[in-house]
Amino acid sequence: MNDVLLYFLALLPIGLIVLLIYKLDKYESESLWNLLIAFLLGGLATVPIFFWQTWIATTSIEEPTILWKTLVVSFLVVALSEEFVKGLAVFSFPYQRPFFNERMDGIVYSVVVAMGFAAVENVYYAYLNGLSNVLVRFFTAVPMHATFGCVLGYYFGLAKARKEKQWEYIGRGFLIAIGLHGLYDFFIIQEFNENLMGGALVVLAFSIYISIEMIRQVLRKSEPIAAAEVPEEEPL
């Protein structure tokens, strides 16, 4: 297969998701330059993860037929490390800037960072495994990263709006994103029963559902944080 077409297909879902989340930001569209920086930070976040997971592969911790080792790899080696570096990218750049001025910005920037991360992953796996892997990731890994980014970004938006509960909301966002990510990876990695792999699709479907609900809730209160009142409804 032509390499240009292969890498185009690898990047296509990333571009579609970035465009969708950009269009959903109805109050104040973000600067394309700021979005590009966030995207690049997401891509750079793959570098420490590559070295971390490459080193883990040299240890004896990866045993997909041993329950506790599979849980450690799924939740700590993969989910915790990946969500941490993506969250750190959001916290270190857009979250600290004055242009992060509405709750929807948390979702926008977190999803864009996640898509930068997914873009590097997709190109790498396209190079290693070819078209079949690209097509599978089109409908699984890429929307997975987007939904976990949405969850984390939702709570970053709340944290920015409610400074007195900033760390509570950021912590909650990390816990939920890591929990969903770890559960998804557990079903993918485990080798106890191949039918359990279907559990990953259930986790993905649930993650998409709550992401849609979070976006709907945030869009109902799409206004500058400085002028926003405390939301009447409790956060998800």
Domain boundaries, the chain: 3-223
| Closest by CA position to 96, among listed 151, 39, 38, 177 | 38
Q: Which residues pair with 102 in a beta bridge?
A: 224
Averaged pLDDT, 104-118: 97
How does residue 235 score in pLDDT terms, banded at 50, 70 and 90?
Answer: low
Strand ranges for the chain from DSSP E: none
pLDDT (tens digit, 9 = 90+) per residue, 15-49? 999 999 999 988 788 899 999 999 999 999 999 99
> What local confidence, expressed as pLDDT, does residue 136 receive?
92
- Asked if the model's pLDDT at residue 227 lies above 50, the reply is no
Answer whether 37's CB lies under 8 Å from 43's CB: no
The reported pTM is: 0.91
Whole-number Cα distances in Å, 202 to 80, 144, 178, 217, 234: 20, 11, 16, 23, 25
Contact in structure between 154 and 173 (CB atoms under 8 Å): yes
Q: Which of 61-65, 74-78, 100-104, 198-202 has the lowest mean pLDDT?
A: 61-65
CA dihedral (176, 177, 178, 184) positive or negative: positive
Residue 60 reports pLDDT greater than 80? yes
Does pLDDT of 91 surpass 90? yes
Cβ neighbors of 69 (< 8 A, separation 6 or more) are 61, 62, 63
Residue 233: per-residue pLDDT: 53
Tokens of 234: 């409790």
